[in-house]
Structures are given as structure tokens and as C-alpha cells.
A and B are shown apart, each in its own frame.
Chain A
């Protein structure tokens, strides 16, 4: 498998994972745009041999390795983004829970004449 095929497959995998995450509601719609764009650009770069050749000409011989490392790093960042999405959601849920509990405690205290 050459570098371009790997790049195309990596781009395709990122786009597919993003779409799957969106469908299953693992990733928020707002956060998915940049990942979809990254996946599409990577896949397009993999399909465009002329562009890749000119980019590789300006880099060292270890270009394939660089692509592989970049893909792995991309995967790691994608996983982190999903984690951040989940943490963000949990932060919202916690903040809402805290606000509602505090409101109900204040209201109960007021009813029972406790505190201000």
C-alpha cells in the first residue's frame, strides 16, 4: 500500500468515524465540522497524486513515516476530542444539577425559615 492510499484511507476513516459519532450522538454537531473537513481534505489529498508529489518533493525521504505518524496523532486527537465532547456534556449536566439543587435548598430553607 503506498502513502497516498494510506492517506486516503485515513481521511476516509476520520470522516466515517465522525459521521458514525454524529449518528450515534457520541459527538456534538458543533464539534464535528472540523473533523469532517479534515477527513475530506485528507481523502482528497490522497486522491490527488500531483499535489502529493509536489508536497513530498519539499520534504525528506521519511515522508511516508511522517504521514503515518500524523495519522496516528490525528487518531489520538480525534479520540481526545470525543472525550472532551463527553466531558463538556458532563460539565453542563453537573452545572445544571448543582444550580437546581441549590435552588431547591434555598427554597426549602425559605419555607422552613432557615437562613436568609
Chain B
């Protein structure tokens, strides 16, 4: 297969993988992305892992950015966006380092970014090929939570979003510029959704597969789910409050 970077007129695409203590899975994730999208640079942003995440990622062929202090998921992802913007990439796709995402979806997300003209493309577990919603890949209580989130987020995003917690997200240069300037540090997935409309960013969802974690345990507990709902409500409130104010009036996160 001809590497992406060598194809005529190929867009400048980079994959970023935020990682914290993912030594057991990150190597396979990097290899899978390299196979699915040959020639596309993979940047692993290591959020001060205490294990061999950085070394394993490097051995698998990724370029590793090591944060000097632990910043959390939001700070970690934004570092990747900032780096990609500095290096002149046109498209960036974020893939989680725990092996839950299907690497073959990376080229599909790029294709969706280009063909739909959307600024943000979200890989959704909960839509089928025709864009209809379903909750086949998750448990009962979680399905209820997701349906709730969907309804809470719809007024913020302007249209329903089927998988508000997806970490498989592709952005174009316009969104990259916005997210490099301003990005939520806590609960970045919902924070980003709250930002989309305010910054007039168009989003699109495509169906994607998602697997169970290869290693470790999910950090999502009942308490965290409650926090999650609370943060959705908070971001909804902030969104209403900021409607009409100039976006980026103050660049909090340059």
C-alpha cells in the first residue's frame, strides 16, 4: 500500500494518542494505526506515565511527546493539537491509547472530514450506516445515561449527537486552530461539544466500531457518571451564559 504521505495531493494528516500508563496496549494501537494509515505520523502524548508507555510507543514507531507534569486528558490532547498546528498538519485524528478504537476507522474519519467539509468528525458507536441511533454496544444503565446525555446536549450542539463520550475524533485545520487556543481541561469530550456551536464549527458523526479495553479497568463509576451529568449541565449553563459574547474574547489557554 502506498503511504498516505506519498500519495499525490495527500492531505497532511497526523494521529495523536493521549496516553497515561498504557504500556500494555499503546504499542498495539500504534502498530494498528501504522498499518491502517501507512506513512501517517503518530504522536503519542505521554501524560507523565509511571510505566514504560513512552518507550513502548517509541519502539512501535510513534513519536513521543513527554509532558513535564501531569495535565490530565484535556491538557494532553491539547498538547497534541498545538504540536500538529505548529508542524502544519491539515487534519488531526485523536485515537485513545487503550485499544478501544478500531484503527481502520482512521482513514474513514479522514475521508468524512474531506467529503462532508465538516470541521469535526466524531466516530460514533451508536449510529448505523444510515445515521440512525442505537445502543447495541453498551449495557442497559449506560444506554439510559447516553440517551439522557443526548437530550441534554442537543440544545447545545444544535442537533442530536449520538455518542457524546467518543474519544475517536477527527478535526480539520479550522477546528485545530480553535482547540489549540481554547480547550477544556476537565471532561474534554463534552466541553468540546459545548464549544462547537459557539465557534461555528460543523460536526458530523460516522459509525465506528469500538472494542472493550484491552487492559486495565474503565475509570467510569457511578460517582463519575453523576459527575459527568453534572458537568454536562454545567457546560450547558456556561454555553447559555456565553452566547453573544465574542468567542475567544480572552485566550485562556494559549
**Residues on A facing B (Cβ under 8 Å):** 19, 22-26, 28-30, 32-33, 89, 91-93, 95-96, 98-100, 102-104, 107
Contacts and interface: CB of A to CB of B under 8 A. Distances in A.
B126 to A, nearest CB: 26
A29 B151 CA distance: 21
B79 A99 contact: yes
Contacts, number: 71
Nearest to B182: A25
Interface string B54-90: 0000000001111111010001001100110010000
20 contacts: A22-B238, A25-B242, A25-B250, A25-B252, A28-B185, A29-B191, A30-B186, A30-B234, A32-B238, A92-B71, A92-B185, A95-B67, A95-B68, A96-B71, A96-B82, A100-B83, A100-B86, A103-B63, A103-B66, A103-B83
B82 A28 contact: no
Contacts of A24: 245, 249-250
Contacts of B136: none
B200 interface: no
A29 B234 contact: yes
Given A29-B235, A93-B254, 15 more contacts: A22-B241, A23-B242, A25-B249, A25-B250, A29-B184, A30-B185, A30-B234, A92-B185, A95-B68, A95-B71, A96-B78, A96-B79, A99-B79, A103-B64, A103-B66
A96 B46 CA distance: 11
Contact of B79 (A26, A28, A30, A100): A100
Contacts of B111: none
Contact of A92 (B45, B66, B231, B253): B253
A62 to B, nearest CB: 38
Interface residues of B, number: 32
A33 B234 contact: yes
A64 B245 CA distance: 39
Q: Ordered nearest first, which 3 A-B pairs have the shortest CB separation?
A: A103-B65, A96-B79, A29-B238
Nearest to A20: B241
Interface in B210-254: 231, 234-235, 238, 241-242, 245, 249-250, 252-254
A100 B82 contact: yes
Contacts of A91: 69
A48 to B, nearest CB: 25
Contacts of A103: 63-66, 83
B69 A95 contact: yes
Contact of B242 (A22, A28, A33): A22
A107 B79 contact: no
B20 to A, nearest CB: 14
Contacts of A32: 238
Given A96-B82, A100-B79, A100-B82, A28 B69 contact: no
B153 to A, nearest CB: 15
A93 B185 CA distance: 11
